[in-house]
Structure formats: C-alpha cells, structure tokens
A and B are shown apart, each in its own frame.
Chain A
Amino acid sequence: MMLADVISAGLLGVGAAMLVIGSLGINRFPHFYSRLHAAGVVDTIASGLFLAGLAVHFGPGLVTIKLLLIFIFLLFTSPTACHALARAAYSSGLREPESEDER
C-alpha cells in the first residue's frame, strides 16, 4: 500500500511540474503559434500524468476505468481544440512574423 502511495504521489508531483513548465512556456515563447506548442505539453503530458497518478491511488476498479475513459476522451478533444485555435488564427491571416512563410 505504501509503495502505491509513493508512486501515486510521484506521478502527481511530476504532473504538477509539467503544468508549471507548460505555463512557463506559454509566457516565455513569443507569438501565438509557439505558445500553442507550449500549451500542448500541458494538454497531453500533464493531464496524462495526473490521471495515471489518480489511477494508481484508487487501484483497479470502476474509478480507474472512469479515469481511463477521461484520458481517452481527452486524447480526442484536446488536439481538436488546439487545431481549431490554430486554424482560426491562420484563417484570419496570422502568420509567423520573422521567419519566411512556408518553407
């Protein structure tokens, strides 16, 4: 039981660190599109680690199945939201400021 607690705490801790790093990236990176990439780290890695940590905490059972389902739904919805943002920006004419467009 102790070991599971340690693993769970570790996963939650690393997930929280990823959240901080992702937020840091959103602030450090210049311009819209680069910031989108930093947000992607939070989306995929941080949420995955959090759900994994919670799954280890609850052990096998219905709760873990629900956590897995949440993760699978996130795998479909978060890239869709990210793509919608990028597409909306591109359609309204936003391009990379300094580098030459479309190499």
Chain B
Amino acid sequence: MKHSISLGLLLAILWWCLSGYPKPLLLGLGAASVVFTLWFAHRLDVVDHESHPVHISGALLAYWGRLTVEILRSSAQVIGTILSPKPAIAPYFLRVKVGQPSDLGKVILGNSITLTPGTVTVLVNGDELLVHALSPVSGEGVSQGDLDRLIPADCERQA
C-alpha cells in the first residue's frame, strides 16, 4: 500500500511537470492516466520494494552525489588518455566480489561501474562481477570496491 501511494504521487507529479496546463480536461486525463497506470502496475505485480525503493530514496541522492564526483574524475582520466599522442591503454578483464547482498544493490553497483568512463560491467554471476577496464588506473577503483562501499547499506532491507 505504501508503495502504491508513493507511486501514485510520483506519477501525478510527473504528469504535472510534463504538462503544466491547469485545464480541467488535461487534469482529468492526468488523473485517469495515473489511476490506469497504478492498476496496470498492480496487474503486472511490479509494485514492490525493488521497482520502487521508497526506503532508500534519500540515501540514494547522497550516493548519486558521490558517483558524480567519481564520474568526473575518471572522465578526466579517459579524456587525457584519448588526447595523449600515444594512448597508454592496457585493456583487461577483472573479476570482483560484490559486497551487496541484494539484487537491487548489485544492479546499482553494476550500473554505476558502467556509468563511470573507463570501466564497463560485462557479466553478473552470483556475487561476482566481470568488469572490463581500459587500463589498470581505471580498474583500480573497481577492484578495491570503492563504489561498493558507498552504496546505501539499507538497500537490502525489505520494506
């Protein structure tokens, strides 16, 4: 129920942001769309702690801040490599153990690694990630689990 209310509110806000016209017809259509989407999501049975993690939203914002810093730093690195006269690249695959017990945590970590230039998540196998790195400089952070430690710890808590 908590997730449905939150999803409904989110959808209503989204509709308002995308339309912005306070006309009765459009507001009515918006309300109908929200109700229909809620019903549809319930029928698909996708409204749960995983698709809609209300309990970690705040902590996730802080994580995105840290991730942005990480992305900017490794971007500078990759850009430097691209522009150098003789690009010093030594691409390799590395396997790394994941500290995240939950599927959601693993998805967040895998996505973050791919989002950071210089590293791409190739496979997820149980609690092991196969990551491709452009050079040992890029791969270092991943093999030390830097991002892994930053992910909000209560990801795995079932709401």
Q: Which residues of A contact B (CB under 8 A)?
A: 18, 21-22, 24-25, 28-31, 33-34, 36-38, 40-41, 44-45, 62, 65-66, 69, 75-76, 78-80, 82-83, 86-87, 90, 95-96, 99-103
Contact = CB atoms under 8 A, between A and B. Distances in A.
A78 to B, nearest CB: 7
Given A21-B82, A24-B82, A29-B87, A80 B95 contact: no
B128 to A, nearest CB: 12
Contacts of A96: 91-93
B82 A40 contact: no
Given A66-B17, A87-B122, A40 B111 contact: no
Given A33-B91, A83-B122, A86-B132, 11 more contacts: A21-B83, A34-B134, A37-B119, A37-B138, A38-B78, A40-B116, A45-B71, A66-B18, A76-B111, A86-B120, A102-B93
A76 B72 CA distance: 17
B105 interface: no
Contacts of A21: 79, 82-83
B124 to A, nearest CB: 9
A87 B120 CA distance: 10
B92 A41 contact: no
Contact of B79 (A41, A90, A95): A41
Nearest to A79: B114
Contacts of A38: 78, 82
Nearest to A27: B82
Contact of A40 (B18, B78, B83): B78
B133 to A, nearest CB: 8
B147 to A, nearest CB: 13
A103 B132 CA distance: 11
A62 B117 contact: no
5 contacts: A24-B83, A25-B81, A38-B82, A79-B110, A90-B122
B95 A86 contact: no
A40 B122 CA distance: 14
B121 to A, nearest CB: 5
Contacts of B134: 34, 37
